[in-house]
Amino acid sequence: MFRRIVSKVDPHYSHLRFLIEIKLNIIMFSLSRYQKRRKQELEQSSKLIADLIASIGRKHFLSCIQRLVHNFTSYDMFVALSYFGDSAPTSLSYKAQAKHPPKLLNIYTTGAYRLDPVFSCCKAGIEPGVYTLRSLSPIEFDKTLYYQTFYGSLGLGDEVDMLVNIPDGGYILLGFARNDTQELFSKDELSMLSILFPIVSVSVQEHLDRTGWGSWLWDKSSDNSLPTGDIFPKLSERQREVALLILRGFSSEDIGRHMGISENTVKVHRRNAYSMLNVTTSIELFVVFLSDCGVSVDAIKEYLNIETSFSL
């Protein structure tokens, strides 16, 4: 009855009804395909999680973590490191495209790690979870020579890190990065990684229990940390702290806020530190820092592409 009445009012009713029915069929077909795709994704995810569990205690454990994460988000680089207090981090896995990645990693673990925001956050006891490098870094971190050397040389565009806490207050970092030709990790991707995190975290902890990683990740009887006093030994404690914060990308205002002193006092400490070290730029300050960490001048020139025109 309704159709007959409307047809009299609108002669195009039949045509509209036909179009609506086509639209509904397309929607139902799309939903069907979506449900099928979601089912396939769920099956794939379940298989990858099962593979991860089965790999606990075996050599391909980290590879299974990478495959699981890659099922939910794309990435170009992967790194796994362990952090314990002030000790130098230990490299567990490193996959990246760079001119000299092994040498850069060696320089990093020799002492350059002290300028890394992840190291600072782990040392401070950050809550385990999923973090972007940007969320852990000072605002001007990407302008520092440290960033340009250890991140820029990799062509890094964005990085997201899973920080898993392990016994004795340590962390395992699982870092997934994209090169600078890719988009940043989206909120949806970060949310998905946060959902995956409890599974990955428990798996890492169980893997450590089974393999005894903790016995060689960090030996309390042989602390391999670099004493802070060995870096910029000519400087006072305050001057050294200011110099290190400058290298980490903190502005004078942020340093003052961090240390509880005025911005003018920060500038005085910086001027005195530069004078004591006989440097005039942050580049020269960075070179002195690396030298104090034990990095050779030849390595600085060859692998970091930094010219040292002053005597150390």
CA dist 266 → 2, 4, 245, 273 (Å): 82, 85, 11, 10
Domain end, chosen from 51, 74, 89, is at: 51
Residue 148: inside a domain: yes
Residue 222: inside a domain: no
Is 310 in contact with 279 (CB distance < 8 Å)? yes
End-to-end alpha carbon distance in the chain: 96
What is the domain-level CATH number for residue 278? 1.10.10.10
The answer to whether residues 187 and 296 belong to one domain is no
Domain end, chosen from 217, 250, 265, is at: 217
Number of domains in the chain: 3
Residue 190: inside a domain: yes
The answer to whether residues 112 and 12 belong to one domain is no
Residue 223: inside a domain: no
Residue 168: inside a domain: yes
Q: Which residues pair with 159 in a beta bridge?
A: 177
What is the domain-level CATH number for residue 130? 3.30.450.80
Count of beta carbons in the 10 Å neighbourhood of residue 43 = 10
The answer to whether residues 134 and 31 belong to one domain is no
The answer to whether residues 37 and 154 belong to one domain is no
Is 276 in contact with 80 (CB distance < 8 Å)? no
Domain end, chosen from 10, 33, 51, is at: 51
The answer to whether residues 88 and 143 belong to one domain is yes
Is 283 in contact with 306 (CB distance < 8 Å)? yes
The answer to whether residues 232 and 266 belong to one domain is yes
The answer to whether residues 66 and 211 belong to one domain is yes
The answer to whether residues 71 and 175 belong to one domain is yes
Is 75 in contact with 176 (CB distance < 8 Å)? yes
Instruction: Read off the pTM.
Output: 0.76
pLDDT in tens, 266-306: 999 999 999 999 999 888 898 888 888 887 777 777 666 66
Helix axes 282-292, 263-277, angle to 10 degrees: 60
Q: Which amino acid is at 100?
A: H
The answer to whether residues 69 and 210 belong to one domain is yes
Residue 241: inside a domain: yes
Distance CA 63, CA 55 (A): 9
pLDDT in tens, 79-129: 999 998 888 888 888 776 555 456 777 788 888 888 999 999 999 999 999
The answer to whether residues 245 and 287 belong to one domain is yes
| Secondary structure of residue 161 in the 3-state scheme | strand
**Domain encompassing residue 89:** 61-217
Residue 142: inside a domain: yes
DSSP element (H, E) containing 81: strand 77-83
Residue 121: inside a domain: yes
The answer to whether residues 183 and 295 belong to one domain is no
The answer to whether residues 287 and 157 belong to one domain is no
Instruction: Give the pLDDT of the chain (312 residues) as one tens digit per residue.
Output: 444 444 444 554 455 555 555 556 666 656 566 566 666 777 888 889 889 999 988 888 999 999 999 999 999 999 999 998 888 888 888 776 555 456 777 788 888 888 999 999 999 999 999 999 999 998 888 888 888 877 877 788 899 999 999 877 889 999 999 988 889 999 999 999 999 999 999 999 989 888 876 544 544 444 455 555 578 888 999 999 999 999 888 888 988 998 999 999 999 999 999 999 999 988 889 888 888 888 777 777 766 666 555 555
